[in-house]
Structure 1
Amino acid sequence: MALENLTLTALAAAFAELDRQFAYLPEFTAEAPGQDRMQAVLSETAARLGDNFPYFHPLYAGQMLKPPHPVARTAYALATWVNPNNHALDGGRASSAMEKEAVAQLAAMFGWDRHLGHLSSGGTMANLEALWVAGQLQPGRTIAASAQAHYTHERISGVLRLPFTKINETDHGRIDCCSLERRLDQGDIGCVVATLGTTGVGAVDPLPEILRLRERYGFRLHVDAAYGGYFLLANNLAPEARAAYDVIGEADSIVVDPHKHGLQPYGCGCILFRDPAVGRLYKHESPYTYFSSHELHLGEISLECSRPGASAVALWATQRLLPPVPGGEFAQGLEASRRAALAFAARLTADARFAVPFEPELDIVVWAPRAASASQASALSQSIFDRAAGQQLHLALIHLPVSIFRTSWPDLVADQETIVCLRSVLMKPDHETWLNRIYTILGEATDAALS
């Protein structure tokens, strides 16, 4: 059996306990309209879902798709029987309290005892809130981010009608602080986005240097750690990355996505602000939503209105089981993923068929098959990608500047500005024990493409 199913038993037991919580109500049995036809529809649904990549399997090593922990999946499903809405306490009393507790744990992970924050549908909405706050505090000023930062920052800036500028990246995919400083000299930048774990190559921007620039230029600093935030807990980072994570608490706002490394179902992002006073920017009035409590409603500190309480319940349950603390079981899973990435990159570097531009900083590995030119290497990458998928090894492709291979592949003929590279996100702890099989299939696919 490919899919884990032991949690079905746990769900049944938890459902019975939930049902007992409402035993005080008058007897009532909810009907399920069309129940006689429901099984047929669900069987058809399962068949349709089979037309997916096997994201849960270790041979899926392409995009950043990590299977939810069984406790998260079960808690989420359990909550849907109540279907709480965390916009207001009236719609999600218990789940709102669980969200506040879970978010406080995430804030504590970054060293914040005082904070303002909440869950969101994902990193896009969380980053939108961060940049919206930046724009409210410094209206009309420019947002700056690396060329390797997520494309959503430029798009969000457009939605918010804020100017946006793209800063050059280094050959390691990090923001170039010299280019940033030259741009800051123009005097119009209100917020700099630093990325700790770019979604393309997993690069970690040099946060200590950016903080030194903030002391001089006074901009607001937002850290997009949607992908890489949890690696703060890992004890096997390289010194430069470790130095960046050690000062992440100096940022003005942080985004982290529990639905990436946090073992949560989609969609679950989180926005955190260091200064709770920014909550004043969200102030609004509602004639009907807030009447059952004088406590803070999560809807009063969020741009989103209706939000699934099930996401909060799932995250709360996961963090009860696996607290996000250094040295814990959860942190050890992150360390296993990074070990897998380092081992995979080392094997690729030692293999004459491949070129690796730099050692992975987190758990994303990028590489290219060696060829006479960038265009020929790009074609080979596509062929290897297709052939590997035919053997159920699912990788990813990424277009990167040819310049990233300046050191590792100096004789590459740059007949085009970009090169199509192969990419793996080894974010499942199981990847560490599956590396031999993954590399065997990759080697066979490469040999076939070269023949």
Structure 2
Amino acid sequence: MTSSLSDVQSSFPEPTTGQGPRSPAPGLTAAFDPERFHDGAAAIVTRLTRYLGDHSVRGLDLLDPAVLLKAARDLMTHETAHIADFDADRVNQIVDLYTGTGIPVYSPGYMGRQFSGVVPLASLIDLVGSVVNQPSSFYEAGQLPSVAERLMAEHLNHFIGWEPGRYAMVTTSGGSLANMTALLAARDRAFPQIWTRGAGGTPGPPAIAVSEQTHYSVTRAAGVLGIGERQIIRLPADSAGRIRPDLAGPALDEAHRRGLRPFCLVASAGTTAMGAFDPLEELAAVARRYGLWLHVDGAHGASLLLSDHHRHKLRGIDQADSLTWDAHKMLFMPAPCTLLFYRDAATARGAFRQRASYVFDEEPDPYSAYDSADKNFECTKRPMIMPLWAVWSVYGPALFAQKIDRLCEVTRQAADMIAAEPDFAVAHRPESNILCFRYRPPGLQDATAHRLQLEIRNRIRGGGRFFISKVDIDAVAALRVVVMNHLIDAGHLAMLIAEIRDIGQQVLRASAATGNDQRNGSHT
């Protein structure tokens, strides 16, 4: 074992003379030239600096795919027989097309999705990761990423509250993969024979209990695991989108009467639709009563653990068996970067039971203790922890806490402003940074309200100044904003409200005119 970094030195033998392979072609050498990398990186960083500095209110410029396809094709070299010469102008055009067609996540007009503009330092560390290219499932391939993963687990578990030295954390490429991995571990605990003998020998069909508001990745994972739709137990939710613990028990009892064998209850800490937080403490009691694994999908909302003002919304998280936590959402990291936590490290290894001599060592050693490949799907995965660890190391946790507090505060302000408008209706009180509402003048019927919200959302997206999303609540569409930019203020919110009202009135007037024409027999 190397005792210190100063000991990492190598001596290479003198090159031998004689016949050997020819030198690489000049074009091949030039493509890997460090000076060319420096010049190209400087030009790209200059462009990205301007991009980061553009705080104008703008939404999504949604191009016709055929137009974008042609523009992208025109930027591709026609040279096929030889390595084409480096064309700095072509590279600049590629960067401009990339940034110009992307969602403007740094603009105050962007309020549509749950991914964020990243902390700029994180993007620089992500560039380092791309250059050094250290897959991080094995310590020998990614030494610092493996150590950084251990360090971030320690710091973040301080907020979760599990017993030190007993829990485990692995990084995965996205919350969907983390949710499925956790379900695999839960299934293995309940049905250890499935990995070798399949599901045929189980005493009943394996089932999972989920909220009506659960993310589709959970039910998709159930399908991948062979758990059919009839084996998914839907737990009733209240009007705010939270699982009702008082109705969870009866739903599980009914599942047992149907012959199902539920093994996992999946709760949410920040649902995708409305940002709702399930009552984890009460659901943990339900899970214990029925012998279920409690998995918390905190992809969006687990980051509120870092906030003194909002941590209480995850009360009971220490009683969960596993937790999905997306750093590319409310920790503002490059996507994907998901943290999958287990309360018991032993169960983390239960998801997969494979050996492969080319990667897994027969005897444990100080290096393999930091390997994570036995606990996640990916053998080769990006060192996604590095941007988070670097930003945490430089700025500390207060950076994340202050931004989270700001986003939640602005969202509450948006709810108050919208609720004060007589022709708007908020669908819920926001628990985080997600707010759903409708433009609904008095007397508007549900069927008309549904179509109106869809048309408003589409016209706003086409207008290019704001980008918002939509979601169905009680079968009626609602407009949805996700406040991810700390620069959004009351002025931007007022602009959005005014634009929604203007578009809504235009749509209603056009609809009324069309109805009059049809009643008069006109076919314009």
Normalised to the residue count of structure 1, the TM-score between the two structures is 0.84
CA distance 1:294–1:446, change in 2 (3 Å): closer
| Greater displacement, 26-35 / 62-71 | 26-35
**Structure 2: gaps spanning 5 or more residues:** 1-5, 15-23, 33-82, 192-204, 507-524
Match of 1:420? 477
Question: How many residue pairs get matched?
Answer: 406
Kindly provide the CA deviation profile for residues 235-265 of structure 1, in whole angstroms up to 9, marking residues without a partner as x.
Answer: 334xxxx544122111010110001111110
1:373 paired residue among 438, 445, 459? 445
Which residue identity does 1:257 align to in structure 2? D
Q: How does 1:118-197 map to 2 (within 5 A)?
A: 118-139=170-191, 140-162=205-227, 163-186=231-254, 187=256, 188-197=261-270
The answer (yes or no) to whether the contact 2:269–2:278 under 8 Å persists in 1 is yes
Query: SS state of the match for residue 129, structure 2?
Result: helix
Match of 2:104? 54
- Check if 1:443 corresponds to 2:492: no
Cα displacement (A) at 1:290: 4.5
Cα displacement (A) at 1:283: 4.3
Find the aligned partners of 2:138 and 2:112 in 1 and give their Cα distance: 38
Which residue identity does 1:315 align to in structure 2? L
Which residue identity does 2:359 align to in structure 1? T
Query: SS state of the match for residue 259, structure 1?
Result: helix
Cα displacement (A) at 1:287: 1.8
CA distance 1:84–1:31, change in 2 (3 Å): farther
Find the aligned partners of 1:387 and 1:125 in 2 and give their Cα distance: 34
Which residue identity does 1:248 align to in structure 2? I
Among the aligned pairs, what percent are the same residue?
27
Cα displacement (A) at 1:445: 3.4
The answer (yes or no) to whether the contact 1:116–1:272 under 8 Å persists in 2 is yes
Match of 2:412? 342
Find the aligned partners of 1:334 and 1:249 in 2 and give their Cα distance: 21
Find the aligned partners of 2:495 and 2:368 in 1 and give their Cα distance: 61
The answer (yes or no) to whether the contact 1:208–1:243 under 8 Å persists in 2 is no
- Check if 1:32 corresponds to 2:87: no
CA distance 1:361–1:32, change in 2 (3 Å): same
Cα displacement (A) at 1:276: 1.0
Match of 2:37? none
**Structure 1: gaps spanning 5 or more residues:** 1-19, 402-417
CA distance 1:380–1:88, change in 2 (3 Å): same
Which residue identity does 1:32 align to in structure 2? A
CA distance 1:96–1:206, change in 2 (3 Å): same
Match of 1:230? 303
Which residue identity does 2:218 align to in structure 1? H
Which residue identity does 1:288 align to in structure 2? Y
The answer (yes or no) to whether the contact 2:185–2:348 under 8 Å persists in 1 is no
Query: SS state of the match for residue 37, structure 1?
Result: coil
Match of 2:284? 211
2:400 paired residue among 324, 330, 348? 330
Match of 2:380? 306
Normalised to the residue count of structure 2, the TM-score between the two structures is 0.73
Query: SS state of the match for residue 481, structure 2?
Result: strand
CA distance 1:280–1:424, change in 2 (3 Å): closer
Kindly provide the CA deviation profile for residues 45-72 of structure 1, in whole angstroms up to 9, marking residues without a partner as x.
Answer: 2233111221221210111121111111
Find the aligned partners of 1:283 and 1:215 in 2 and give their Cα distance: 26
The answer (yes or no) to whether the contact 1:208–1:244 under 8 Å persists in 2 is no
| Greater displacement, 143-152 / 214-223 | 214-223
Query: SS state of the match for residue 85, structure 2?
Result: helix
Find the aligned partners of 2:458 and 2:222 in 1 and give their Cα distance: 36
The answer (yes or no) to whether the contact 1:387–1:445 under 8 Å persists in 2 is no
Find the aligned partners of 2:180 and 2:406 in 1 and give their Cα distance: 32
| Greater displacement, 138-147 / 254-263 | 138-147
| Greater displacement, 357-366 / 291-300 | 291-300
The answer (yes or no) to whether the contact 1:340–1:426 under 8 Å persists in 2 is yes
Cα displacement (A) at 1:25: 7.8
Which residue identity does 1:384 align to in structure 2? I
- Check if 1:353 corresponds to 2:410: no
Find the aligned partners of 1:343 and 1:200 in 2 and give their Cα distance: 19
The answer (yes or no) to whether the contact 2:185–2:349 under 8 Å persists in 1 is no
Q: How does 1:12-91 map to 2 (within 5 A)?
A: 31-32=30-31, 36-49=85-98, 50-91=100-141
| Greater displacement, 274-283 / 264-273 | 274-283
Match of 1:430? 487
Kindly provide the CA deviation profile for residues 127-159 of structure 1, in whole angstroms up to 9, marking residues without a partner as x.
Answer: 111100111111353111111110111110110
CA distance 1:208–1:279, change in 2 (3 Å): closer
The answer (yes or no) to whether the contact 1:76–1:313 under 8 Å persists in 2 is yes
Which residue identity does 1:100 align to in structure 2? R
Q: Which runs of 4+ in 1 moved over 6 A?
A: 20-30
1:271 paired residue among 340, 355, 361? 340
CA distance 1:23–1:276, change in 2 (3 Å): closer
Which residue identity does 2:113 align to in structure 1? Q
Which residue identity does 1:175 align to in structure 2? I
Q: How does 1:104-119 map to 2 (within 5 A)?
A: 104-112=154-162, 113=164, 114-119=166-171
CA distance 1:244–1:250, change in 2 (3 Å): farther
Cα displacement (A) at 1:77: 0.4
Query: SS state of the match for residue 185, structure 1?
Result: helix
Find the aligned partners of 1:295 and 1:31 in 2 and give their Cα distance: 40
Which residue identity does 1:154 align to in structure 2? T
Find the aligned partners of 2:7 and 2:137 in 1 and give their Cα distance: 23
Match of 1:397? 470
2:314 paired residue among 245, 255, 277? 245
- Check if 1:95 corresponds to 2:141: no
Which residue identity does 2:301 align to in structure 1? G
Find the aligned partners of 2:321 and 2:469 in 1 and give their Cα distance: 33
Find the aligned partners of 1:377 and 1:359 in 2 and give their Cα distance: 20
The answer (yes or no) to whether the contact 1:391–1:441 under 8 Å persists in 2 is no
Find the aligned partners of 1:313 and 1:38 in 2 and give their Cα distance: 31
Find the aligned partners of 1:283 and 1:332 in 2 and give their Cα distance: 42
